[in-house]
Amino acid sequence: MSSKRPDDRAIAARIHQARSAAGFSRAELGRRVGVGPSAAVQWESADGTAPAIENLAKIAVATGVSFEWLATGRGAARLRADVEEQSAVSEAPFARDLQEERVLYAFRKLDDTRRDAVVRFLEELAD
């Protein structure tokens, strides 16, 4: 039986998403955070250990994701590069993962006709 709490498993999944999206191996993530590769493997394992807060912050910086999203799953996953200072309240999408966030950003660039077509397509695909 796993001693890992459900929120720790969710953090492990977000660490995996962030690392994969950044194109890092587990060894590279460990190097960037300043730990051994085995620590990075543990962080992503269902039964592994969760990183200390300091390392979680380093993971967020290394992978370019928001600390709040990485730690809690709330808020935007990606930091916006076009904003010098992040505000306390973000206009960014509230997506559950990086894929949803990418879809939302792309969707917002579409005109109304194309948005409707995309929604209909996704609804058909989901049925």
Token readout for 8 is 């720790």
Number of domain units in the chain: 1
Asked if residue 16 has pLDDT above 80, the reply is yes
| Per-residue pLDDT reduced to its tens digit, 19-50 | 998 999 999 999 999 999 999 999 998 888 88
**Does residue 96 belong to any structural domain of this protein?**
yes
Structural domain harbouring 44? 6-82+90-126
**Does residue 120 belong to any structural domain of this protein?**
yes
Separation CA 33–CA 40 (nearest Å): 9
**Does residue 60 belong to any structural domain of this protein?**
yes
The CATH number assigned to the domain holding 40 equals 1.10.260.40
| Per-residue pLDDT reduced to its tens digit, 70-108 | 988 887 777 655 444 443 334 444 566 788 878 888 888
What is the amino acid identity at position 38? S
**Does residue 45 belong to any structural domain of this protein?**
yes
| pLDDT confidence tier of residue 126, bands split at 50, 70 and 90 | confident
Torsion of CA 56, 82, 91, 125, to 10 degrees: -80
**Does residue 66 belong to any structural domain of this protein?**
yes
**Does residue 1 belong to any structural domain of this protein?**
no
**Does residue 25 belong to any structural domain of this protein?**
yes
